[in-house]
Amino acid sequence: MAKQYTIGELINLSAGYLQEKGCSSPRLDAELLLGHVLGLERLDLYLNFDKPLNADEVAAYRTLIGRRGQRIPVAYLTGQREFYSLPLQVSEGVLIPRPETEFVVDKVLELLEPGIPTEILELGTGSGAIALALACQDPGFRVTAVDVSPAALAVARANAERLEVQNQITFVESDLFQKISGTYKVICSNPPYIKKSELSALAPEVAAEPALALDGGVDGLDFYRRIFNQAASFLEQPGFVVLEIGWDQAGDVRRLGEEAGFTWLETVKDYGGHDRVVAFKWE
C-alpha cells in the first residue's frame, strides 16, 4: 500500500522542495497551497497536522507544488489574493495586488470627506484592487476604473460583482485618459513604473505578471509624465492626485508633478520604510 502522508509531513516536504527552487517564503507557500487544495485556513492545517490525506488530495497538491517550483506566483495558483481585507480573484492577465498599494487607498481616504458623493478616477485598475477597496469603504464614492487591458477589466468587473459594489464603479477600456470625460475629485493610480532595462532582472514570479502592468519605459517614469500632462483637465478644484511609485522615484515624480503645476502634499513610506506613494493637490 502506498504511504499515506499527513498534512504535517506534506508541508515539511514541500517547503523543503520550494526552498531548493529558490522561493522566498517556502513554508508559507506550501501552507497556502495545501489550504487551497483542502479548503482549509492555515490555522486549520496546524490543528489537523497528523491527519492523513487521500490520494486525490496528494495528487492535486503535488501538481500545485510542482508549478510553484517553476516560480509561478501563489496567487495565480490559488486564483486569489487578499487586498485591504477583501478577497480578490486574480488571474495571469492582471498584476497581483501588493500590500504596499494599500497606502494609495489610505491616502485617498485621508484626503476625502466621508459620506458625501465623490467622483474618483483610477487609472490602470488591473484586478480592481484600489477601486474596490475605495468603493467598499464609502457608499458615497463613485469610481471610474480604467484599464487598457480587456482581460484585466473582466477580472475587475467580476470582483466588483462578487463584492457587490458594481453599482458604484464604472469600468472603462481606455489607455489612461483616452476615453475619459468629466471631472474627478481624485485621480489615483499604481501605474507601471519599472525601468525597461530592469524588467529582465525581475524575480521569476514578477516576470510571470503582465509586462503591460510593469513596464514604465526607459527611466520608469513614462506613465507619470503622461498622467501629469493631462490630469489637470480631469480634476475638480481643489482636486488631488495620488500615485504609487517605485522606491527610488519620489524625487523625480515630485518634480514632474510640480513642473506640471501641482502642489506636492506628501510622500508616504510603505511597511518596508520605502517611499511608496506621492500625493499632490490641484487648486
Cell numbers describing residue 148: 487598457
Does the protein bind ligand GLN through residue 194 (CB under 6 A)? yes
Interaction pattern, residues 28-47, with ligand GLN; x per rule: CB under 6 A: --------------------
Q: Give the nearest distance from C-beta 203 to ligand GLN in angstroms.
A: 8
Distances (CA, A) of 268 to 171, 198, 228, 263: 28, 24, 19, 15
Site for ligand GLN in 76-115 (CB under 6 A): 98
- The nearest distance, CB 250 to ligand GLN, in angstroms, is 14
Stretch that binds ligand GLN, among 69-77, 106-114, 147-155, 189-197 (CB under 6 A): 189-197
Taking the least distance from each CB to ligand GLN, the nearer of 118 and 249 is 249
- Residues 113-142 within binding reach of ligand GLN (CB under 6 A): none
* 8 A C-beta contact, residue 188 and residue 146: no
Q: Given the C-alpha cell 453599482, which residue does it identify?
A: 167
| Residue 217 Cβ vs ligand GLN, minimum distance, rounded to whole Å | 11
Nearer to ligand GLN, 154 or 208 (CB): 208
Total count of residues recorded for the chain: 283
According to DSSP, residue 232 is labeled: G
Judge whether 253 and 266 are in contact, CB under 8 Å. Answer: no
Of 273, 90, 236, 257, the residue nearest 189 (C-alpha): 257
Residue 267, judged by CB atoms within 10 A of its CB (0-12, 13-18, 19+), counts as middle
Distance in Å, CB of 83 to ligand GLN, minimum: 13
Query: Quick one: 132 or 214, whose CB is closer to ligand GLN?
Result: 214
Distance CA 173, CA 150 (A): 7
Nearer to ligand GLN (CB atom), residue 184 or residue 224: 224
Q: CA–CA distance from 244 to each of 106, 123, 275 (Å)?
A: 12, 11, 9
Window 199-228: contact mask with ligand GLN (x via CB under 6 A): -------x-------x--------------
Catalog residues that contact ligand GLN under the rule CB under 6 A. 98, 190-194, 206, 214
